[in-house]
Amino acid sequence: MRQAGLLCHTQRWWSTTRIMNQSGSNAYAVLRAARATGVEAILFAVDLSQRESTAMVMAYAAFARQQIYWARDLFFVFVDGGAAGMDAWLSQYHLVQHTALGAHSLPELGGVIIGGIVMKTHKMKASREPFVLLELNHLNGQLPNLDLFNSVVRIAGKGSFGLHSVVYGVRDEEMGGKDWHFLVPLRAIHTQAFVAIEGLHSVMGKYGIQALTVATPLLTSYPLQQSTRLLEAIARSLNNVLERFHQSYFLYILASPDNFVSIAYFMPIIGGVLLPLLFFAYRDWSYLSSVTVPRSLLLVHSIGIFTWWLCHRHFSTVTTNPHGDMVYLAVITLIPWGFALPVSVTEIRSLRFMLLLECALMSAAVALLNFSLALVFALVATPLLIKLTDDSGDRSRALLRSALALACHPFGLYALFMVYGRPFLEYHEKPFVMEPHAFINALFRLVEEHLVYNSYVLPLLLVVVLPMWNMVLALALMRTKTILQNETRVVQDSEHPGD
């Protein structure tokens, strides 16, 4: 690429946290725009494990060097090590001190990156016509600007390309597949809520880069020249953007590659789901003579914050066996602290009021950043909190409620989803095996995504969700004890009617 006149450099990077032992060497080339001052740039990235895409991007970089119409600098990054390598390169480009990745500085820098395109090839079989697979979810539920996504979809479907666009791997009958078309919004919600790293583009969002991944067909089913021309069309489209992407939507749910649901339609749903919590919280508040903060509320959240701090410190700087030590973290999260909380009878109403109010406010706050995660949590938490903490004078119902509260641990709900939810979404994969290492691997992934990529799912789990579960246990147990005490008092009064 140096022979083509491009400025080429390499960058060595490595992990500085104990939970990840990974390193690599990125290579990148810079094409300076002849008609601009370098205040803006366009980023093209490809994983070195993608051989066909690497060859395509290298060929296109040499071709782009011969053109004179570029209004922005072009950066071609060949990433070694997946999302971690991309994150290391971006941190040095933006002169940000990364907490989990170290890297050499970049001798060539540019301006604001207005858009990023990650190229790869997909291996999905096309029964009739070739198609392009688009991946768009960023870290922590972020999504790229809808104008960028629409531009790629329309470019791929026009002219000589003639490529259908597929999102979330869903192909209905129009695309030569047999998938249910409603799988697109369902998988969109699942991916936004639970998939932190979908590809190289996922780490670009936290640097303010609007990016997505374009996966073209294999060379055996689609000419390499056509794939390169598609990349050229996308590059020229980004080159012609007059200003940074800001006019279109950033919060949306795709219903298909050509249709979406805007925030104005889906955000009221979360309000409707959380409304019962506010009604019951208001009812409990009206029964209170004075509002006090229960000791148990402060205690369970203190345990959660301490667990988060200990996890962050241990897996960042102390541990020498991350997978082995993850067992201890799993045991800590499984401890039902709620059964040992000092909850008095006078604090029951206040604790339930605080619990319902916290769940409603936390879900509403998370919905502003990650609607899908908040919606899934609210759909599960709202009926459980109302039913598992309600007033019931029946002993058998109280005991059953305590058992159900214990079974509704996040790990139990995770197993339930993996057994029944994933097959419903028609992900063609091996059946979930309910073994301890499956839960350990899931917890390890959460810790790694938090420490390396700054995902906020782990802090929410440890500081908010698990304390709520423990408060539900405390309320369920206290209700049961109260019922048993009342029954004992009734029996004693019947045996000694004259006392």
pLDDT digits (tens, 9 = 90+) for 284-301: 888 888 778 888 889 999
Q: Estimate the crossing angle of helix 322-334 against helix 436-453, to 10 degrees.
A: 100
Pick from 257, 81, 238, 254: nearest CA to 166: 257
Alpha-carbon span 329 to 307, nearest angstrom: 8
DSSP, collapsed to helix, strand or coil, labels residue 66 as coil
Instruction: Compute the distance between CA of residue 84 and CA of residue 78 in angstroms, rounded to an integer.
Output: 13
Query: How does pLDDT run across 114-170, given as a tens digit for each residue?
Result: 999 999 998 877 656 788 999 999 999 999 999 999 999 999 988 777 888 999 988
Phi, psi of 314 (to 5 degrees): -65, -50
Cα separation, 61 vs 202, in Å, equals: 23
**Helices of type H across 417-465:** 422-424, 436-453, 457-460
DSSP per-residue string spanning 170-202: ---GGGT----TTHHHHHHHHHHHH-S--SGGG
**CA dist., res. 432 & res. 437, Å (int):** 12
Instruction: Please state the φ and ψ torsions of residue 478, each to the nearest 5 degrees.
Output: -65, -40
Give 457-471 pLDDT, tens digit per residue. Answer: 999 999 999 999 998
Alpha carbon 436 to chain centroid, angstroms = 23
Q: How far is the C-alpha of 8 from the C-alpha of 3, rounded, in Å? A: 10
Looking at residue 3, what is its pLDDT? 73
Token code pair at residue 188: 């969109």
Q: Is the pLDDT of residue 236 over 90?
A: yes
Q: How far from each other are the two terminal CA atoms of the chain, in whole angstroms?
A: 99
d(CA 389, CA 471): 9
pLDDT value for 241: 87
CB atoms within 10 A of CB 51: 12
Cα 221 from Cα 236, distance rounded (Å): 25
pLDDT > 90: what percent of the chain?
A: 54
> What average pLDDT does range 28-43 have in this prediction?
88
DSSP single-letter state for residue 126: P
Choice between 86 and 483, residue whose per-residue pLDDT is larger: 86
- Which tens digits make up the pLDDT trace of 297-331? 899 999 999 999 999 999 999 988 998 899 999 99
Distances (CA, A) of 404 to 276, 389, 469: 21, 11, 11
Largest CA distance in the chain: 106
Q: Supply the mean pLDDT for the chain.
A: 87
Give the chain's radius of gyration (CA, Å). 27
Task: Select the more confidently predicted residue: 184 or 221.
Answer: 184
Q: Which residues of 52-66 are buried (b: 16+ CB within 10 A; e: fewer)?
A: bbbebbbbbbbebbe
Q: What is the pLDDT of residue 451?
A: 95
**Confidence tier at 30 by pLDDT (50, 70, 90):** very high
Distance, in Å, from the CA atom of 87 to the CA atom of 103, rounded to the nearest integer, reads 10
Strand bridging mode 101-103 / 73-79? unpaired
Mean of pLDDT values over 273-289: 90
Asked if 83 and 453 touch (Cβ cutoff 8 Å), the reply is: yes
pTM tops 0.95, yes or no? no
Q: 498 falls in which pLDDT band (50, 70, 90)?
A: low
Are the C-beta atoms of 20 and 448 separated by less than 8 Å?
A: yes
Question: Given its phi and psi angles, is residue 340 left (phi above 0), alpha (psi -120 to 50 degrees) or beta?
Answer: alpha
Q: Give CA–CA dist 351/342, Å, rounded.
A: 12
275 membership: H or E segment, kind and range: helix 263-287
Q: Kindly report, residue by residue over 377-410, the tens digit of the pLDDT.
A: 999 999 999 888 876 656 677 778 778 888 888 8
